[in-house]
A = this chain, B = another copy of it.
Amino acid sequence: MKIAILGGTGDIGEGLALRLAADTRHRIRIGSRDAEKAETKAEEYTTELESRGNDAVVEGFENATAAAEAKVVVLAVPPYHVGDTVEAVADVLEAGDVLVSPATGMKRDDDGFHYHKPGAGSVTRIVADAAPEGVDVVGAFHNLAAARLANLDADLGIDTLVIGDDEDAKRTVTDVAEGIEGLRALDAGGIANAPEIEALTPLLINVANNNDRLHDLGVRFE
């Protein structure tokens, strides 16, 4: 299957692109507003994979081109670019395609990081509201530390939570997620349950920042 990772030149996009290319047989297309930047990064990822004896090829395109042939399109962009990015690819999405939302809104103060809940209720809800008719939206990959994901030598052994209002779309994304070695995908219900998942990301940062021996934390439901 072809998977587009929009914002695939950013930190969480890099991690997802590398892990999916390394561990699965999906064809990974990274997208950026700047096609040249996407191509350069895609080459870097491909070179890194090659250095590890993996012949997967990551390709880079402008966002809409990346999304055009993909069945699953991951919005690995900051929360304030989610709406624009969906709009930029809306014309090339087809009924049955799945938009995946991993972003969360955060603000920082002297105490730490806090969930900045969007007026719509959650970032995943913003995506659902912006998605074209017939395109399903699934929230996933919210609570993964970007640096750990992008370091293919780092073990995961953690969970990601999957939410969505269409069971087939959730199943598709669950299968994609579980293709990543060491990642378990758990069902957390419908999109209405997104805020508590998005709020877990700042909490992971706070826990890492307050405990010397912990960093790049993920979570495991036991």
Contact = CB atoms under 8 A, between A and B. Distances in A.
Nearest to A121: B114
Contact of A189 (B161, B204, B210): B210
A187 B210 contact: yes
Interface stretch (A19-27, A32-40, A91-99, A195-203): A195-203
How many copies the complex holds: the figure is: 2
B222 A219 contact: yes
Nearest to A157: B222
Contact of A219 (B195, B211, B221): B221
Interface residues of A, number: 35
A193 B115 contact: no
A53 to B, nearest CB: 27
A219 B195 CA distance: 18
A220 interface: yes
Contact of A186 (B111, B193, B210): B210
27 contacts: A111-B190, A111-B192, A111-B193, A112-B188, A112-B189, A112-B193, A114-B195, A115-B195, A115-B196, A157-B222, A161-B207, A187-B210, A188-B203, A188-B206, A188-B207, A189-B206, A189-B209, A193-B203, A195-B199, A196-B200, A196-B203, A196-B206, A199-B199, A200-B200, A204-B221, A218-B221, A218-B222
